[in-house]
Amino acid sequence: MKKIGIIICGRYHNCAGGKCLRSLRQREGAFARYQGEEVELVGYTSCGGCPGGNVEYAPAEMNKNGAEVIHLATGLVVGYPPCPRLSAFCQFIPAKYGLEVVVGTHPIPQNYYLTHSELGTWRSPAGRELIKEVITDEATRKAYD
């Protein structure tokens, strides 16, 4: 069984996790990688708000609960502006805790996709790399609006 933790953006600290949990159940977005596998969610928290101080400590608790992978929620890439510390989180968590990091949880909702397409947020190779796990087809994106 794969054990995962999810860290969401502090802007959305009141989020109940509906899209993340639905996509986990349905193995959509970044959770498509677990198709056919059993998955247990062992932690769910926010980054703690800018500059993301909770990222320094939350993975330790998730690790104690058996986490093997930390998913940095889709909100960190689709919120505006996208999280400026995302690459630092992606480097810190594996270095400090030895945990794999995946950017994304649920598929990008269509309304965010259209806005960021207009803004050119993900035009660069680095931008496209960030969304590779959560850039799905239009029908799926609309289902997450």
| pLDDT for the residue numbered 41 | 98
For 54, the domain range is 2-143
Question: What pLDDT digit, counting tens, does each position of 89-144 carry?
Answer: 999 999 999 999 999 999 999 999 999 999 999 999 999 999 999 999 999 999 99
What is the chain's length? Answer: 145
How many domains in the chain?
Answer: 1
pLDDT for 20-48, tens place per residue?
999 999 999 999 999 999 999 999 999 99
The CATH number assigned to the domain holding 34 equals 3.40.50
pLDDT at 131 (0 to 100): 95
Q: What is the 3-state secondary structure (H, E, C) of the chain?
A: CEEEEEEECHHHCCCCCHHHHHHHHHCCHHHHHHCCCCEEEEEEEECCCCCCHHHHCHHHHHHHCCCCEEEECCHHHHCCCCCCCHHHHHHHHHHHHCCEEEECCCCCCHHHHHHHHHHCCCCCHHHHHHHCCCCCCHHHHHHCC
Which pLDDT value is given to residue 82?
Answer: 93
At residue 113's C-alpha, the angle toward residues 19 and 15, to 5°, is 30
Query: What does the pLDDT look like over 55-92, one tens digit per residue?
Result: 999 999 999 999 999 999 999 999 999 999 999 999 99
